[in-house]
């Protein structure tokens, strides 16, 4: 069974500071990994995804994440936080072994990012 653990349900950073949101996964096979962002009263938007290509993945809005197999981690970073980054972020894992196509995605419990002016 696959699972995701997000360390820290709430993270606060100052505007302009580094954003680091932690995610560790558990999967019996090499996984596909995702980061989604959710703004209040909205659905989820895909920030970036890792699908076994480059281990450093760049996404939208200046975010990036690095897949580290030895650490089973996929932490999300952004060099300089902006007020508009305040939202909830979800890490997710999917098993790519399903030959029929899209496999179900398992989400973490989320990390709320607060950006302090």
Partner 1 sequence: DAGVTQSPTHLIKTRGQQVTLRCSPKSGHDTVSWYQQALGQGPQFIFQYYEEEERQRGNFPDRFSGHQFPNYSSELNVNALLLGDSALYLCASCMANSYEQYFGPGTRLTVT
**Interaction site with partner 1 (CB under 8 A):** 32, 34, 36, 41-46, 49, 51, 90, 92, 94, 96, 100-110
Closest to partner 1 by CB, 24 or 94 = 94
Q: Is there a contact between 36 and 46 (Cβ–Cβ < 8 Å)?
A: yes
- Cα torsion 41, 89, 44, 95 to 10°: value is -150
Q: Which residues contact 94 (CB under 8 A, 6 or more apart)?
A: 2, 31, 32, 33, 34, 103, 104, 105, 106
- Nearest distance from residue 114's CB to partner 1, in Å? 15
Closest to partner 1 by CB, 17 or 105 = 105
- Nearest distance from residue 106's CB to partner 1, in Å? 7
Closest to partner 1 by CB, 1 or 83 = 1
């Amino acid at each position: 069974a696959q699972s995701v653990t997000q360390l820290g349900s709430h993270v606060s950073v100052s505007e302009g500071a580094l954003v680091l949101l932690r995610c560790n996964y558990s999967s019996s096979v090499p996984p596909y990994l995702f980061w989604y962002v959710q703004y209040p009263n909205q659905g989820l938007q895909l920030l970036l995804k890792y699908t076994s290509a480059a281990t450093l993945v760049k996404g939208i809005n200046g975010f990036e994440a690095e897949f580290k197999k030895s650490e089973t981690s996929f932490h999300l970073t952004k060099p300089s936080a902006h007020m508009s980054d305040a939202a909830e972020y979800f890490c997710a894992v999917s098993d790519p072994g399903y030959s029929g196509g899209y496999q179900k995605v398992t989400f973490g419990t989320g990390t709320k990012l607060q950006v302090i002016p």
